[in-house]
Chains A and B, each alone.
Chain A
Amino acid sequence: MAMVEVHDVHKFYGDLHVLKGVSLHVERGQVCTILGPSGSGKSTLLRCVNVLEEIQSGSITVDGTLMGYAKDDHGRLHELRPRQLAAQRSRIGMVFQRFNLFPHMSALGNVMAAPVRVAGRPKEEAKEQAMELLERVGLADRAHHFPAQLSGGQQQRVAIARALAMEPDLMLFDEPTSALDPELVGEVLAVMQDLAASGMTMMVVTHEMGFAREVSDVAVFMDEGVIVESGSPAELFDNPQQDRTREFLQKVLSHTE
């Protein structure tokens, strides 16, 4: 069974049709990168997967669980209550473009927050696990710093540790390096690469073509709310079938070089 199954998803913001029948599946342990120009709907798709955005039609399942809805005895779909939704989301880690750390908590507090408040784990146990995670992202020595005392790259690594603290089945990355100074991008990508190597299923919206090419198993190109083309990174980068993909890659790669 696929870890993520997105089926014919449509999403509107008012009259604006943002996702126009998107279907996609990501196998367990795969890294799927989603590429595309601004406004193509890639971040929206990611936010729909953990129901930060509602979809208007179609379905999304994660590890076999229908996201955002439940079927009643008569087979009718009902929206989940906020608590049930929160429980679904806690199985999915998300990393945001602008880190979105809790500014009033230390790095350690940020990583411990969900295990203690959402999963109800004992504080000592959560602290031990949080320290291990901070160690894993190379920030054990910054555990007691507030986000404002950390660089962008460090904040993003804390955000990754925070997302991992709930031991998620799936990690979503929404342009995790876009807000970083160029010299800080590498440290975040290295942590993501380690995570991919450990077998984590990941969906990554990114403009980092090197990462997409080297680390992902599947690369997806989106434009104007549809998936234009998808395949292995080798296929997509070296032999794109669609003009729009070719055009986008030419622009981005020439810019990167």
Chain B
Amino acid sequence: MTWLSLNWPHVIDLARAHLLLSVPAILLSVVIAVPVGRLAYRHPRVGGPLLGAASLLYAIPALPLLIVIPALLGTPLRSATTMIVALTVYGVALLVRTAADAFTAVDDHTRGAAVAVGHSPLAVFWQVDLPLAFPVLLSGVRVVTVSTIGLVTIGALIGVSSLGTLLTDGFQRSIPAEVTTGVIATVLLALLLDGLLLLTGRVAAPWTRAARPARGTAVTA
């Protein structure tokens, strides 16, 4: 606690840096994975191999990836951009299959009803597919969020500042309190974002909590 009370402004700065790396990566993962998942659902022949390939991205070890990205994209090695691209690769790998599953889980009969009342294919997507896929998509985004918050710490190994810096610095200088603070702060940040997403889900999809009434009560109109 003494270490934290002396260094809390530094921890806050690192937490902010941590968020500035994670949030764009999470958003980019969603923006890329949802259309790819949708494509995989609509065209299973292309989709199967596409999902397989995307999921394999997660098998790439982090450190080599952080070195390959600057070589491929020309971004500086110790930069936020390199880190965000790497995190996005992992995020997409985690999310594509869930995105495809989310659209598959939408009941075809509900889609049929929307078509029958005159919705165009685009309107069916916005009015039926996306809202009904949302709860499953959100559960995937929660996994990506927690995973991304954890992965950001690896950036400290190549000198990109985040809460991971507390881990590397704490280890190098043998300050257990700094390491502990890094671990706890990272977990708290992950829990905070996960909680916010959970809350978003409850507000945006209240129908998922609509319970069936007791038999007999609903019969009387």
Q: Mark A215-251, 1 if CB is under 8 A from B, else 0.
A: 0000000000000000000000000000000000000
Q: Mark B160-190, 1 if CB is under 8 A from A, else 0.
A: 0000000000000000000000000000000
- Given A82-B121, A118-B123, decide whether A103 and B207 contact each other with a Cβ distance below 8 A: yes
Q: Tell me if B6 is interfacial: C-beta within 8 Å of chain A.
A: no
In the complex, are the beta carbons of A104 and B212 less than 8 A apart?
Answer: no
Chain B interface size, under 10 / 10 to 19 / 20 to 34 / 35 or more = 20 to 34
Task: Please tell me which one of the listed residues B109, B123, B206 contacts residue A98 in the complex, with CB atoms under 8 A apart.
Answer: B109
User: What residue of chain B has the Cβ atom nearest to residue A157's Cβ?
Assistant: B221
In the complex, are the beta carbons of A139 and B110 less than 8 A apart?
Answer: no
Task: Please tell me which one of the listed residues A83, A119, A148 contacts residue B211 in the complex, with CB atoms under 8 A apart.
Answer: A148
Q: Tell me if A24 is interfacial: C-beta within 8 Å of chain B.
A: no
A140-169, CB < 8 A from B? 141-142, 145-151, 153-154, 157, 159, 162-163, 165-166
- Given A89-B115, A100-B113, A146-B207, decide whether A183 and B128 contact each other with a Cβ distance below 8 A: no
In the complex, are the beta carbons of B219 and A117 less than 8 A apart?
Answer: no
| Distance between B54 CB and nearest chain A CB, rounded to angstroms | 28
Task: Please tell me which one of the listed residues B118, B207, B212, B218 contacts residue A89 in the complex, with CB atoms under 8 A apart.
Answer: B118
| Distance between A206 CB and nearest chain B CB, rounded to angstroms | 18
- Number of A residues contacting the other chain (C-beta, 8 Å)? 47
- Given A149-B210, A149-B213, A187-B221, decide whether A100 and B112 contact each other with a Cβ distance below 8 A: yes
Q: Tell me if A94 is interfacial: C-beta within 8 Å of chain B.
A: yes
In the complex, are the beta carbons of B115 and A113 less than 8 A apart?
Answer: no
Q: Tell me if B119 is interfacial: C-beta within 8 Å of chain A.
A: yes
**A residues in contact with B114, CB < 8 Å:** 102, 113
Q: Tell me if A77 is interfacial: C-beta within 8 Å of chain B.
A: no
Q: Tell me if A90 is interfacial: C-beta within 8 Å of chain B.
A: yes
**B residues in contact with A145, CB < 8 Å:** 210
Q: Mark B179-221, 1 if CB is under 8 A from A, else 0.
A: 0000000000000000000000000011100111100001101
In the complex, are the beta carbons of A104 and B207 less than 8 A apart?
Answer: yes
**B residues in contact with A183, CB < 8 Å:** 219
In the complex, are the beta carbons of B118 and A102 less than 8 A apart?
Answer: no
**B residues in contact with A90, CB < 8 Å:** 117-118
In the complex, are the beta carbons of B213 and A103 less than 8 A apart?
Answer: no
In the complex, are the beta carbons of A162 and B207 less than 8 A apart?
Answer: no
Task: Please tell me which one of the listed residues A89, A119, A154 contacts residue B116 in the complex, with CB atoms under 8 A apart.
Answer: A89
- Given A82-B120, A89-B116, A113-B117, decide whether A102 and B218 contact each other with a Cβ distance below 8 A: no
In the complex, are the beta carbons of A151 and B120 less than 8 A apart?
Answer: no
User: What residue of chain B has the Cβ atom nearest to residue A165's Cβ?
Assistant: B117
Q: Mark A80-110, 1 if CB is under 8 A from B, else 0.
A: 0011001101111110101011111100000
